[in-house]
Every structure is written in structure tokens, then in C-alpha cells.
Structure 1
Amino acid sequence: MTDSEVTSADSVGRPVLDRLRIGSAPDSWGVWFPDDPQQVPWRRFLDEVAEAGYEWIELGPYGYLPTDPARLTEEVNRRNLKVSAGTVFTALHRGPEVWDSTWAHVSQVAELTRAMGAHHLVVIPAFWRDDKSAAQLESSELTADQWGHLARGMNRLGREVRERFGLNIVVHPHADTHIDTEAHVVRFLDATDSDVVGLCLDTGHYAYCGGDNVKLIETYGERIGYLHLKQVDPEILADVVENEVPFGPAVKRGVMCEPPLGVPELPPVLEAAQGLGVDLFAIVEQDMYPCLPGRPLPIAQRTRRYLRGCGA
């Protein structure tokens, strides 16, 4: 075991997870779309995420928070918040013909992300089910040609984003996308350039799709550049898997739950991430779309206390 793999402890025996920068995101307030009447207003999100004790936030879907850098800077500064990343959605498996539209979207988000002083773009691959209706849009499995398009397109995206904006892309394995299970995540990592394509490991989504988070960190730790923290309710997940419930309806059933009520256990995951010996953002994301306006804040406060108790 190397020095970087040893996690120190504080005076009461808790591990000191000082390489992890804890934050939260609009997703934890039930925000999935730039504009939706079921979502809390952006000012309320900013007020409450600060009240819950978080310092770092993500931009969420582009257009939910103000897109004017000066205005957004003023809003986050007066709440003592900072931005860790922006988020983009891509369908690069569809081939070179989608590059121009993809780049138009990515450039817009990357420009705001850079202006806010962040250094990461979280890249979410396209859903093979519609995110609102849950209707199946395409096959859940990629062909060999589509895997090639995906890998080449993501390599190009990583290079272009770094060269033009100075940002690093971290690709987010996600339920109901083509990068979901351990086999698919490993295939993607092995097919892409480690110099320009990192991984955003979402603990909840990876567990939802049957993956072992600690194993992935220990095996592909050099690729992990960012974390999303969430848990899955194992009883609801078992029913979701058995009945092939799409992700959107599964979220409405409460498949994503607050820690420590679900899986994976977060302490081993956090300690494995600390053991990588690099600074990582660890952003809480509890999918709750849609949810009652008063529900997110108490959960966020309890989650922040729980993570402090874990040493983070």
C-alpha cells in the first residue's frame, strides 16, 4: 500500500477525506430541465443549497440558472457559492453528422462554465429512451460501428474542449444510456484516450446498473476525474429491474434515495476515492424529478451532515 492509499483519521477516528470537495446540484432539487413548472425556481435552489451548507454547485441544465456570466457571478458570490462544472448532453454514437449541433451546444455551456471559473464539463450520453415519455427511441445496444463513432467523437470532444476552453470532459455513465453497465463502461474507457476523456463516476447510476463502485475506482482510478454521490433503494431497484421499468418512472417511485438508506455504502467509496491521492469534486445528486418544493432542503441538510460524519 502506498502513502496515497492510506486514509488518515481525525481525533475521533473518522477518516479525513480532505481530497474531496463536496457540493450539490440542481438535480438534488428535482431539476432536470431548463424550464419546467414542476421545478423549484432557480433563486430558491441557490438560497437553499447555500443554507444546506454546500459551497460548490453545478450549473445543471443550461438555461436553468442565469446564462449571463456577470449576473450569475453576482448571484453565486452573494451566497458564497462556487461552480464546479457545467453539464452537456451528446449523441456522438450517431456519427460525424451530429458533430456541428453537438459542438454548438457544448460551446455554449463551455463558455459559461469557463467564465464561472470551473474546469470540468460533465458529459451525459444520449438516452435510448425519451426522458419525459420513457418511449424507446433506439436500441439499448450499440453496433460496432456506433461504438467506433462514440469513441472517436468523445476523443475529439475532449481535445476540442481542452484546446478551446481549457476544460476537462468527464463522461457520466447513466441509466437508460449506452454507457451504463460495467461491461459498457469498461468498453468505453478502453476505447477512448485517457489523456482527454475522463470519467464522472455517479455512484447511484453505476449501482443502479449493477456496477461495483469501489472495484471501478480501484481498477480505473486514473480515469476518474469527478464524482457524483447518490444512493439507490435496493428494494425499489429490484422491482425496477424485474419489471424493466424505465429510469424516469423509476425515479418517480423513489429509486434514488438519501444516504445512508441505500446502496452503495458511501464510506468505502469515499475512502477509495481519497486513496487516489488527487483532488476530486464529489457532488451530491439525488434524482427527484418531480418533487414537492419543500422536500429537497431537509434532505440536502441531512445529507450534508451525513457526509461530514463520514469525514468529508
Structure 2
Amino acid sequence: MIRLAINPLTWTNDDMPELGAETPLETCLAEAKQAGFAGVELGNKFPRDAGTLRPILARHDLALASGWYGSRLLERDVDAEMAAAEPHLALLQAMGCTACVFAEVSRAVHGERTTPLSRRPVLSEADWTVLTPRLDEMARRIAARGLRLAYHHHMGTVIETAAEIDRLMTSTGPAFHLLLDTGHLTFAGGDPVLAARRHAARIAHVHCKDVRAPVMAQAKARDLPFLAAVLEGVFTVPGDGCVDFSAVFAALPGYEGWLVVEAEQDPALAHPLTYARMGHDHVAALARRAFAEQP
């Protein structure tokens, strides 16, 4: 079954908490439902225990689609990482999630406001031999908890480019899955349609993020930090940028899971409910045709 969710970044930003700081969680949830969504991902204003979170989401008739976890497997072993991830995994399990959004953030620069993206970390051969077996083991252990590790390639991190995604997927086993983020892969110079075709069988979660091509070109030309590019407006919701979501969905036959509208923008410049509706309606219309069902 295909369901549509939205990330609360539309209303309030995790990496730049001053963006949308004044917006309460209840507004995010009420407007997500008003825009037509069936679920939401976690954000920095969400309580992190199921007993508190469950009735809040129930009031708005929303499910929890998943939530981001940043790992440091280049710096610590799997036992230590599993211990660090335990509260997050327990919350996702208790809330009925099927996937864990998972990204390696060792050495990452995406949250650094003055570090340009050209200085993002690149894995050495020695790093690959450390990271991929640990990621593979994490995926197996998370699978034993009833969740799929959905790896989130991300600008400013060690897995950013299409080539890095391909190597990661060929270096890991069937328990390891991919989160396809259309916006991040486009910004990284990749083709989300090609990636969808190549890895369709192991894509467990999709972030539907659009890109304003002229802003992206300027951000690259000026070698901006990631958050500076966000503030310039590099990302937007589906239907407002250059990503061909019809082709992306066509490359995912048989996909079952969440399609998550996500766009880091300044809510003072991009009215959250307006953009939430725009993203929902664009994705819903295309998903109905691609997956032959009403999301």
C-alpha cells in the first residue's frame, strides 16, 4: 500500500531551529492533516516516547511514517551503535513503523553553517572496509527488530553521490535498504530516475523533494554550505522544481511504503500550508497513476 506523509521541515527546521521556532507541534500536525497527508515523520518538536506521542498523532488521525537516526559507525562498533539507537528503534517499533531512516553522520558537514559542500567528507578505501560491514550488521540487527534500515544518502555526508550509493548497495546484503531522496541525489549531480531503476528492489522509503535548478546551479557555483543553499531556496516541494516525479514513480513498480513530501525551506518565505498542499496534490496525482491506487 502506498501512503503519503510529510516531514515537519515544512514548518520547523531541525538543523536551523530558529526557522519556524514559533510554530507549535499542534499547528504542524493540524496543517499536515488539512493538506491531505496520512502520516508524518519525526521532527525536533515531537515527544520521543510512544505513550506521549501516540495520542497526539491520534488526535490528528496521523500515523508515524519514520524518523531520522544519525549513526557514527566510522567511530564506534555495532554494539555501541545499537545501544545508542535503542531509544529511537523502540519508539519506531512502538509506533508501528516499518522503516528507520538511517544516515552515517561521522565527519558530516551538512549542519555546519560555514563549511562549503566542497569540503564534505569522502571515504577512503580503509573507511569503506570499516563502514560497510558495520552498516550491514546494523541492518541485520534492525531487521530482527521488525524494521528495515533505509539508508538516507545526504548532501554533506560520506554517502552523497550516485557512485557512492551504488557502491554502498553492492557492498551490503538484502537486509540493507535504501531511502531514495530525489532532492539530495539531484543536488549531488545524480539522476533519481536511474537510481530508482537500479535499486528498486531494495528501496524501502522515498523522500519526495524537488529542486530549484537555477538556485542549485548558483549554490554550486558559489560553493555554498548546505544550510546556506537551503536558505537560498534550493529545495522545494514536488511540482515546484525540476525533478520528474512521474518518471521516478514509474521506475518503482511494486513499491509499497511511504512517499514522504519533504522540503527544507524558510517558512517565513514559503507558507507551510500552501506548500504542503502543493506537494501533496502533485505527488498524490502522480502516485495514483503510477501505482494504480489512491494514496
TM-score, normalised with respect to structure 1: 0.84
1:140 equivalent in alignment to 2:117: no
Partner of 2:291: none
Instruction: Rate the CA distance shift 1:172–1:130 in 2: closer, same or farther, 3 A.
Output: closer
CA contact (8 A) 1:94 1:149 kept: no
Instruction: Rate the CA distance shift 1:162–1:134 in 2: closer, same or farther, 3 A.
Output: farther
Partner of 2:292: none
For 1:99 and 1:304, the matched residues in 2 are separated by 39
Q: Structure 1 vs Structure 2: percent identity of aligned residues?
A: 25
Gaps of 5+ in 1: 1-18
Partner of 1:225: 204
Instruction: Rate the CA distance shift 1:245–1:209 in 2: closer, same or farther, 3 A.
Output: same
Choose which of 86, 109, 132 in structure 2 pairs with 1:129: 109
CA displacement at 1:292 relative to structure 2: 2.3
1:41 equivalent in alignment to 2:24: yes
CA contact (8 A) 1:22 1:282 kept: yes
For 1:228 and 1:161, the matched residues in 2 are separated by 21
Question: 2:259 aligns to what SS in structure 1?
Answer: strand
CA contact (8 A) 1:213 1:269 kept: yes
Q: How many pairs align?
A: 285
Choose which of 114, 130, 148 in structure 2 pairs with 1:149: 130
CA contact (8 A) 1:204 1:232 kept: yes
Question: 1:60 aligns to what SS in structure 2?
Answer: coil
Gaps of 5+ in 2: 289-294
Instruction: Rate the CA distance shift 1:215–1:293 in 2: closer, same or farther, 3 A.
Output: closer
Partner of 1:110: 89
Choose which of 240, 247, 252 in structure 2 pairs with 1:261: 240
CA contact (8 A) 2:208 2:259 kept: yes
CA contact (8 A) 2:209 2:261 kept: yes
Partner of 2:139: 158
Question: 1:186 aligns to what SS in structure 2?
Answer: helix
For 2:60 and 2:275, the matched residues in 1 are separated by 20
CA contact (8 A) 1:92 1:99 kept: no
Instruction: Rate the CA distance shift 1:302–1:281 in 2: closer, same or farther, 3 A.
Output: same
CA contact (8 A) 2:207 2:261 kept: yes
Choose which of 229, 233, 236 in structure 2 pairs with 1:250: 229
Asked which structure has the greater RCO (Cα within 8 Å, sep 6+), the reply is 1
For 1:43 and 1:221, the matched residues in 2 are separated by 35
CA contact (8 A) 1:93 1:147 kept: no
Q: Output the amino acid matched with 1:300.
A: A
Instruction: Give the root-mean-square deviation of aligned CA atoms.
Output: 2.3
CA contact (8 A) 1:23 1:283 kept: yes
Instruction: Rate the CA distance shift 1:243–1:146 in 2: closer, same or farther, 3 A.
Output: same
Q: Output the amino acid matched with 1:197.
A: F
For 1:238 and 1:179, the matched residues in 2 are separated by 21
Instruction: Rate the CA distance shift 1:81–1:293 in 2: closer, same or farther, 3 A.
Output: farther
Instruction: Rate the CA distance shift 1:41–1:104 in 2: closer, same or farther, 3 A.
Output: farther
CA displacement at 1:91 relative to structure 2: 2.3
